[in-house]
Amino acid sequence: MADYRKMWEDLGMDLETHDVLCEVLPQAFSDVYLSQKNRPEGMAFYDFVVSEIHGVRPAELIEHQKKGGKVFGTFCIYVPDEVVFAAGGISTGLCGGSQFWVPGGEKALPQTTCALIKASVGARLDATCPFFKIADMYIGETTCDGKKKAWEVLSKEVPMHVMDMPQMKRPKDFTKWEEEIKTLIEVVEKETGNKVTPEKLAEQIKVFNNKRKALKRVFEARKHDPVPISGKDALLMIQIAFYDDPVRAAEMANKLADELEQRIKDGVAVFPKGTKRIMITGTPMAIPNWKLHHIIETSGAVVVAEEACTGTRFFENLVDESQTTIDGQVKALAERYMKNNCACFTPNEGRIEDILRYVKEYNVDGVIDVNLKFCTLYDIEGRDVEAALKKEGIPVLGLETDYTDTDAEQLRTRIGAFLEMID
Ligand code: SF4
Ligand code: SF4
């Protein structure tokens, strides 16, 4: 990795503790990723990004700030990035996916909070992640209770705007979400000093639709048997797309999709035809959380889809590009984002419909419903998800885990037994 120490020092990071993270990540990445055989060449870009994870993109964000630009940190796929970019800002996903940050979060939050929230808070409080330090403002949302309270902790550290998410999907909830998007426009306009015009918003709606289309192309290739890409690699692409420049994210995903389509034509695969095909559903897997994919793919199966925010929910459904006024565009944005089926909504039947549809589309042999420990929303909803799958005769395994490795062997045993049970 290039030398970014001066940049980290200037950001006020705790370099000594950060060094520990910098030491362990390359080995973990090598064990999980570089050990895979016959990976697509297009993954070289993503490997490079991980090798420079706290350097290359943070340096770009700082460059943007030097030119007077603003950076906004986000934590949820409901936050419409289009608005931030239309104001000349940059948004970057901040969700923490490493156990490394969890103890820091536990200093401010109950231990019984999900690891994603604890890691996100810990990364900021411990000053061990440049992205959390760079952001001029965080944009939170009122999705789950843990996040709502975490925003109060983080707002003592950094300017915070919280979007009030509807919890239902009635017509008046769509109107409310439109109002929230309009408020976000005002907030980013004030912070950046730039006006969100219909022209700029139209441009960004196209940019983000293009990114969604590109990510979807990679997922389309995963429908093929044998699969031309591992689930681990597809997950890495999605995780990086959360915080990378959206134009580059689309370009790299399209390049990867070109290669995968060619691999399908040439009969090149990463797992033999007939390998058991698993879909994961449940809570998000923020970078560098690769635990479950790694266990599944070193147990003789392959992950072919993720019905999660780090999966289909991130790119399914496009924003209507035909609107030419801010009101029309905001409505179109609200409609697209409200199509996401997060367990924070009640009822949330659309998610079960999605899962059953994807099982067919991705030719899935079994579903693993994973819950991040202490996430009550997905834990409760998991019961209905599993019942719906069983009713359709689809093998399903419910698992609960966190960011530690202490349950890895136990998970391996349970996953192994599940795979044996699938015909
Ligand atoms: S699971 Fe729900 S709260 Fe979490 S990122 Fe996805 S939409 Fe947002
Ligand atoms: S995993 Fe669950 S508890 Fe954690 S942030 Fe997402 S919705 Fe909230």
User: Which numbered ligand comes closest to the C-alpha of 79?
Assistant: 1
Q: What is the pLDDT of residues 104-113, one digit of tens each?
A: 999 999 999 9
| Domain presence at residue 136 | yes
CATH assignment of the domain containing 150: 3.40.50.11890
Atom of ligand 2 nearest to the CA of 95: 5
Helical axes 376-391 vs 349-361, angle rounded to 10°: 50
Task: Please report, as a single letter, which amino acid is at residue 3.
Answer: D
| Domain presence at residue 318 | no
Is residue 310 over pLDDT 80? yes
The order of strands in the sheet holding 301-307 is 301-307, 276-282, 366-372, 396-401
What pLDDT was estimated at residue 1? 63
Both tokens of 305, joined, read: 């889809």
What pLDDT was estimated at residue 423? 73
Unique residue bearing structure tokens 């907030």: 187
End-to-end, the C-alpha distance of the chain in Å comes to 45
Residue 423 CA to residue 421 CA, distance in Å, equals 6
Q: What is the pLDDT of residues 351-399, one digit of tens each?
A: 999 999 999 999 999 999 999 999 999 999 999 999 999 999 999 999 9
User: Ligand 1: does its nearest atom lie under 6 Å from the Cβ of 342?
Assistant: yes
User: Ligand 2: does its nearest atom lie under 6 Å from the Cβ of 313?
Assistant: no
| Domain presence at residue 406 | no
User: Ligand 2: does its nearest atom lie under 6 Å from the Cβ of 377?
Assistant: yes
Q: How confident is the model at residue 3 (pLDDT cuts 50, 70, 90)?
A: confident
Largest pairwise CA distance in the chain? 60
Residue 380 Cα to chain centre, angstroms: 21
Residue 394 CA to residue 392 CA, distance in Å, equals 6
User: Ligand 1: does its nearest atom lie under 6 Å from the Cβ of 279?
Assistant: no
Distance (Å) from CA 148 to ligand 2 centroid: 10
The continuous run of DSSP H or E covering 71 comes out as strand 71-74
Task: Please report, as a single letter, which amino acid is at residue 260.
Answer: L
Q: What is the pLDDT of residues 140-187, one digit of tens each?
A: 999 999 999 999 999 999 999 999 999 999 999 999 999 999 999 999
CA dihedral 275, 236, 73, 325 (to 10 degrees): -70
Short-list 337, 391, 340, CA closest to 367? 391
The continuous run of DSSP H or E covering 296 comes out as helix 291-297
Distance (Å) from CA 376 to ligand 2 centroid: 8
Both tokens of 295, joined, read: 């266990």
User: Ligand 2: does its nearest atom lie under 6 Å from the Cβ of 403?
Assistant: no
Q: What is the pLDDT of residues 192-248, one digit of tens each?
A: 999 999 999 999 999 999 999 999 999 999 999 999 999 999 999 999 999 999 999
Q: Are 394 and 358 in contact (CB under 8 A)?
A: no
Taking residues 64-72, report their average pLDDT. 98
User: Ligand 2: does its nearest atom lie under 6 Å from the Cβ of 117?
Assistant: yes
Residue 77 CA to residue 313 CA, distance in Å, equals 8
Q: Are 372 and 363 in contact (CB under 8 A)?
A: no
What pLDDT was estimated at residue 375? 98
| Domain presence at residue 171 | yes
- Number of domains within the chain: 1
DSSP 8-state assignment for residue 37: S
User: Ligand 1: does its nearest atom lie under 6 Å from the Cβ of 309?
Assistant: yes
| Domain presence at residue 117 | yes
User: Three-class SS of residue 371?
Assistant: strand
Domain residues for 84? Answer: 5-187
The continuous run of DSSP H or E covering 307 comes out as strand 301-307
What pLDDT was estimated at residue 140? 98
What pLDDT was estimated at residue 298? 98
| Domain presence at residue 356 | no
Handedness of CA 311, 312, 315, 319 (dihedral sign): negative
Both tokens of 48, joined, read: 């490079």
Q: How confident is the model at residue 301 (pLDDT cuts 50, 70, 90)?
A: very high
DSSP string, 72-137: EEE--TTS-HHHHHHTT-EEEE-----GGGHHHHHTTS-TTS-HHHHHHHHHHHTT--HHHHH-SE
Is it true that the peptide bond before 130 is cis, omega within 30 degrees of 0? no
DSSP string, 179-222: HHHHHHHHHHHHHH-----HHHHHHHHHHHHHHHHHHHHHHHHT
Q: Are 181 and 311 in contact (CB under 8 A)?
A: no
Q: Whose CA is nearest to atom 6 of ligand 1?
A: 309
β 276-282/90-93 pair status: unpaired
User: Which numbered ligand comes closest to the C-alpha of 342?
Assistant: 1
Is it true that the peptide bond before 347 is cis, omega within 30 degrees of 0? yes
User: Which numbered ligand comes closest to the C-alpha of 112?
Assistant: 2
Q: What is the pLDDT of residues 395-422, one digit of tens each?
A: 999 999 999 999 999 999 999 999 999 9
Backbone angles phi, psi at 93, to 5 degrees: -65, 135
| Domain presence at residue 255 | no
How distant, in Å, are the alpha carbons of 11, 150, 243, 409, 415 from that of 90? 18, 22, 9, 40, 40
Predicted TM-score (pTM) of the model is 0.97
Determine how many CB atoms are found less than 10 A away from the CB of residue 302. Answer: 24
| Domain presence at residue 355 | no
User: Ligand 1: does its nearest atom lie under 6 Å from the Cβ of 177?
Assistant: no
Residue 152 CA to residue 157 CA, distance in Å, equals 9
